[in-house]
Structure 1
Amino acid sequence: MLYFNHTKHKKDGRLQNYDFFNRLTKKEKESNMGLFDLFRAGGSINEGVERFKNTQGAILIDVRTKEEFAAGNIPHSLNVPLNRIETIKYSKESPLFVYCQSGGRSAQACSWLKKQGYQVENLGGIASYSGPIRRK
């Protein structure tokens, strides 16, 4: 899992590592909103899936691992794990809608895809998705 951490000096001069994720309460960790949804513009993943459905020629990409994808994914999505994102060969005219578990991997994928000239939207994390789930 990708998370924030930083180092802070204690009063006695020693360094202390603060791990943002581990400082969250159990309730915050288990909430339906993915951590990275806080940093994503464009509304919820549910709204994003609706935009995908209403966009002609759009492609929905899940950048989670094949095991995560098989455990449950959004219908009509294609699995391209983040570590294989460079293998994408879609037309740059086709809008890409990208999601993952919490929004971190999809943000990384979108950053790379935009640099390659793709039209791309980060939908964030499936953890906050409330629509139908397909299992493979």
Structure 2
Amino acid sequence: MSNLDSAIQAALSTIPECLAGGYVDLTSGMLVGVKTVDSHPDEVLEMLAAATADLFQGPNVVTIENMFKKSRGLDLDDYHYFQEIIVNSDNLIHIFMRTRTEQNHVVCFVCRRSANLGMALTKARAALPGVEAAL
């Protein structure tokens, strides 16, 4: 896991105003790796995997994905239509991205709200291959 931790740490240093990064396995529901600039209660970190699973695999999301796939003529059971989800809160930007090689793995980054969203997303996308290769 030290490779994953190092890759997440490297990503944090390139993404503007990035405060945390994590790697979630949706199949197992586990937070596989996490790096933060501040300490957070374990309960919060443990909920990250569950919340990420809800975002990408909640029943309504799956229904919408299936409707989009059907309307576009896609008949791929293991393909997920939603690849990235961005959540803006009062103080933070949360970027969630499925990995390219494993559709049930998601990398998430948390940045200050003052970060340029376009730049944060661009840098997060650029960091994704390095993080997913580390697992």
TM-score (normalizing by structure 2): 0.31
More strand by proportion, 1 or 2? 2
More helix by proportion, 1 or 2? 2
Higher RCO (CA < 8 A, seq sep 6+): 2
